[in-house]
Amino acid sequence: MGLSACFRLSPHATIISGMDKALKIVNELKDKGIIKDYAIGGGIATILYTEPLLTYDLDIFFIPAEEKEKIFSLSPIYDFLKKKGYKPHQESIIIGNIPVQFLPPYNDLIKEAIENSIEAKYKNIKTRAFRPEYLIAIMVQTFRAKDKERAIKVLDEAKIDKRLLTNILEKHKLKGKFNNFIRKFYEE
């Protein structure tokens, strides 16, 4: 695909202090075969395409090394991280001062978003992140209050491939929900 991006950070983006360490560890998980692939999603992925926003954790969506089961175990990831001295905290594990949440693909849209992620860089560390079109589709699918706000932000600030977005929305039966969202927030 050849797409790549770099994280644009404001001087106030202290929440991602230590993200470089976290990304190195996530890349190590992939290099060691503990996870097959991954991409950054959520608020931190949104920062790739918009002005910085408030977010509290690094969401790592991953494809497990073994995809045979429908239920994915986080044990191999947590065992590896515990051996390195990292400790769980609520639904995350703290790596380099940032809570990292590991999320398996809980539906076809997430799996497709991981598979079609773009290369990104943070402090010269290669990583992968969801494309803005997939971020929008996921935000429309989950549709929490913060997702609606972030979807507006991405739509307003990012360069969107409208054909790709339409294809994703149609494939995952989100076109009607998206159109209702657009009518409510852009046509009133």
User: What are the boundaries of each domain within the chain?
Assistant: 4-186
Q: What is the pLDDT of residues 112-160, one digit of tens each?
A: 999 999 999 888 899 999 999 999 999 999 999 999 999 999 999 999 9
Write out the DSSP string of the chain: ---EEE----TT-GGGTTHHHHHHHHHHHHHTTSEEEEEEEHHHHHHTTSS------EEEEEEES--SSSSPP-HHHHHHHHHTT--EETTEEEETTEEEEEE---SHHHHHHHHT-EEEEETTEEEEE--HHHHHHHHHHH--HHHHHHHHHHHHHS---HHHHHHHHHHTT-HHHHHHHHHHHH--
Angle at 53 between CA 48 and CA 59, to 5 degrees: 65
Residue (of 160, 126, 163, 99) closest to 38 by Cα position: 126
What whole-number distance in Å separates Cα of residue 118 and Cα of residue 81? 25
Cα separation values, 69 from 30, 66, 72, Å: 19, 7, 6
Nearest to 47 by CA among 18, 17, 13: 13
CATH topology of domain 4-186: Beta Polymerase; domain 2 (3.30.460)
Q: ∠ at Cα 100 (94, 105), nearest 5°?
A: 150
Q: What is the pLDDT of residue 17?
A: 66
Which tokens in the block code for residue 48?
């790739």
Tens-digit pLDDT profile for the chain (188 aa)?
Answer: 345 565 554 443 444 568 899 999 999 999 999 999 999 999 999 999 998 888 889 999 999 987 666 677 889 999 999 999 999 999 999 998 899 999 999 999 999 999 999 999 888 899 999 999 999 999 999 999 999 999 999 999 999 999 999 999 999 999 999 999 999 988 76
